[in-house]
């Protein structure tokens, strides 16, 4: 996999997550963007157009693919997400592009549909104005003084020194070029969505509940427009790989493993769990607290098997293997019922909390409800709901303005 850093970040933003991914068996690489920290860049503003960042990403990806014999899982954080998305669009719009199939999957990590939101753009505009008047050292000193006056808590000395060194070590033209792209980049999600309609490459949108750049709602809506699965980490802001590297690594492991399973061929009707991968050696109860995975379900015959596999792979990455069999059964019944009685659109949710794992299947039908008939059979799905009721700790139905969610929970068992 290739991880692309953000605006004022660098390859070091992934230093905590890279060893975890390596322990899971992934070849993981990252790099400084052109003009960023230790990567030299041209002394020409034209060298920092999006097309140049895309060309660099393609070149590094091709080198990785050639060295290791695999396609590349592309992960872009923040501004790096704009680069990753533009790279995929570039590859897919060139019908004869020699590297059209280079990208195995696309992950947009704390990134948005285009330019920064209006209320955040002043950050980039202020930097642009300052770059025309001050050196990077002077800008850093001004920023440091402003933060001290505002009572902003400083990081530990080592983190502070890295942040200072990489900021003043950047090419000012690179910062200016990226700032302009964050202000001016168009929302081209609607152009990308048809290219991803066939599910190639599979796409994940992942973000924190407290993101202060693109809002969680904006990222959620972008994922819906792309038809992508999405993950939300609670109590996480704009940098999941730094704030909660183990949370980030396990979501990537679940997603990438699922992608590899898809590439291996069709899903069998009865799917047994594949041999476990290397675990993250974490306490599942503390680790899985308040993580939400949402998966759009396409109304097609393989949908049930694909949903079962996705859930199994994510639970496996979290270390919750005791829950896999029961949750696969629940997913099978709830998704099958929704496909049979509603059709679409359908969404599958997996929500992990400290004590329970919850599965929801959401649809737009508010009339066809699972209810117990007088004959002790169930009107919805025949045998499906009794099976769910027998396996789940509890289950129910929530009704919203635009549909309903049939849900079931099971307790997290001690391992």
Give me the mean pLDDT over the 9-26 stretch.
93
In a domain, 146, yes or no: no
Question: Same domain for 220 and 348?
Answer: no
Question: Same domain for 92 and 220?
Answer: yes
Distance CA 159, CA 178 (A): 23
pLDDT value of residue 131 = 94
In a domain, 250, yes or no: no
Q: Which domain holds residue 393?
A: 266-411
- Here the tokens at position 176 are 């200016």
Distance CA 9, CA 3 (A): 12
Question: Same domain for 285 and 222?
Answer: no
pLDDT value of residue 15 = 94
Distance CA 302, CA 156 (A): 50
pLDDT value of residue 172 = 96
Taking only the tens place, the pLDDT of each residue in 97-139 is 677 789 999 999 999 999 999 999 999 999 999 999 999 999 9
Question: Same domain for 215 and 319?
Answer: no
| b/e code 193-211 from CB counts within 10 Å (16+ = b) | beebeeebbbbbbbbbeeb
In a domain, 140, yes or no: no
pLDDT greater at residue 414 or residue 236: 236
Give me the mean pLDDT over the 254-268 stretch.
74
CATH number of the domain that 270 lies in? Answer: 3.30.565.10
What band does 279 get if pLDDT is binned at 50, 70 and 90?
Answer: low
CATH number of the domain that 195 lies in? Answer: 3.40.50.1820
pLDDT greater at residue 24 or residue 294: 294
Specify the DSSP class assigned to residue 41: -
Residues in Cβ contact with 96 at an 8 Å cutoff, skipping those fewer than 6 apart: none
How far, rounded to the nearest angstrom, does the alpha carbon of residue 40 sit from its chain's CA centroid?
A: 29
Taking only the tens place, the pLDDT of each residue in 34-62 is 999 999 999 999 999 999 999 999 999 99
In a domain, 124, yes or no: no
Contact 230, 220 (CB under 8 A): yes
In a domain, 87, yes or no: yes
Question: Same domain for 392 and 319?
Answer: yes
pLDDT value of residue 128 = 94
Domain boundary among 190, 211, 243: 243
pLDDT value of residue 233 = 94
Question: Same domain for 33 and 106?
Answer: yes
Give me the mean pLDDT over the 182-188 stretch.
96
In a domain, 300, yes or no: yes
Residues in Cβ contact with 71 at an 8 Å cutoff, skipping those fewer than 6 apart: 65, 101, 102, 103, 104
In a domain, 165, yes or no: no
Question: Same domain for 29 and 113?
Answer: yes
Q: Please check the confidence at residue 400 and state whether its pLDDT lies above 70.
A: yes
Strand partners, 229: 204
- Here the tokens at position 383 are 């045998």
The number of beta carbons lying within 10 Å of the beta carbon of residue 276 is 11
pLDDT value of residue 286 = 44
Give me the mean pLDDT over the 235-257 stretch.
93
Give me the mean pLDDT over the 283-303 stretch.
75
pLDDT value of residue 214 = 97
Q: State the chain's mean pLDDT as an integer.
A: 87
Question: Same domain for 271 and 404?
Answer: yes
- The proportion of the chain whose per-residue pLDDT surpasses 90, expressed as a percent, equals 64
Question: Same domain for 237 and 383?
Answer: no
In a domain, 215, yes or no: yes
Question: Same domain for 295 and 209?
Answer: no
Question: Same domain for 229 and 347?
Answer: no
Q: State the pairing for strand pair 394-400/403-411.
A: antiparallel
- Here the tokens at position 27 are 């070849």
Taking only the tens place, the pLDDT of each residue in 349-394 is 999 888 889 999 998 877 777 654 444 444 444 556 788 888 899 9
pLDDT greater at residue 56 or residue 336: 56
Domain count, the chain: 2
Q: Please check the confidence at residue 78 and state whether its pLDDT lies above 80.
A: yes
Using alpha carbons, select from 226, 150, 153, 151 the residue that is nearest to residue 188: 226
Question: Same domain for 305 and 383?
Answer: yes
pLDDT value of residue 352 = 87
């Amino acid at each position: 996999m290739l991880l692309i850093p953000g605006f004022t970040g660098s390859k070091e933003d992934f230093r905590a997550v890279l060893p975890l991914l390596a322990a899971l068996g992934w070849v993981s690489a990252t790099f400084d963007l052109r003009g960023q920290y230790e990567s030299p860049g041209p002394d020409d503003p034209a060298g920092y157009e999006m097309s140049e960042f895309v060309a660099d990403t393609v070149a590094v990806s091709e080198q990785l693919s050639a060295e290791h014999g695999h396609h590349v899982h592309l992960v872009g954080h923040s501004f790096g997400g704009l680069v990753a998305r533009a790279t995929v669009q570039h590859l897919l719009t060139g019908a004869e592009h020699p590297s059209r199939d280079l990208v195995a999957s696309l992950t947009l990590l704390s990134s948005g549909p285009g330019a920064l939101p209006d209320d955040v753009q002043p950050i980039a505009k202020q930097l642009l104005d300052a770059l025309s008047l001050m050196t990077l050292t002077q800008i850093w000193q001004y920023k440091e003084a402003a933060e001290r006056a505002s009572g902003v808590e400083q990081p530990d000395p080592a983190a502070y020194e890295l942040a200072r060194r990489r900021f003043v070590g950047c090419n000012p033209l690179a910062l200016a070029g990226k700032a302009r792209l964050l202000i001016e980049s168009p929302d081209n999600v609607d152009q990308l969505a048809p290219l991803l309609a066939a599910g190639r490459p599979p796409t994940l949108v992942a973000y924190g509940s407290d993101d202060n750049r693109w809002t969680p709602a904006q990222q959620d809506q972008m994922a819906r427009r792309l038809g992508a699965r999405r993950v939300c980490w609670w109590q996480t802001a704009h940098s999941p790989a730094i704030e909660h590297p183990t949370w980030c690594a396990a979501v990537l492991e679940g997603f990438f493993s699922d992608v590899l399973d898809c590439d291996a061929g069709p899903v069998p009707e009865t799917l047994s769990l594949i041999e476990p991968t290397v675990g993250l050696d974490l306490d599942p109860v503390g680790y899985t607290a308040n993580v939400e995975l949402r998966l759009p379900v396409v109304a097609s015959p393989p949908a049930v098997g694909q949903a079962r596999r996705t859930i199994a792979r994510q639970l496996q990455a979290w270390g919750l293997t005791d829950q896999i069999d029961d949750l696969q059964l629940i997913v099978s019944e709830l998704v099958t019922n929704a496909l049979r009685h509603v059709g679409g659109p359908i969404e599958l949710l997996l929500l992990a909390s400290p004590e329970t794992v919850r599965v929801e299947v959401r649809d737009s039908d508010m009339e066809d409800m699972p209810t117990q008939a007088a004959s002790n059979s169930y009107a919805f799905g025949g045998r499906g709901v009794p099976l769910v009721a027998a396996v789940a700790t509890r289950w129910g139905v929530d009704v919203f303005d635009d549909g309903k969610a049939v849900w079931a929970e099971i307790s997290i068992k001690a391992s």
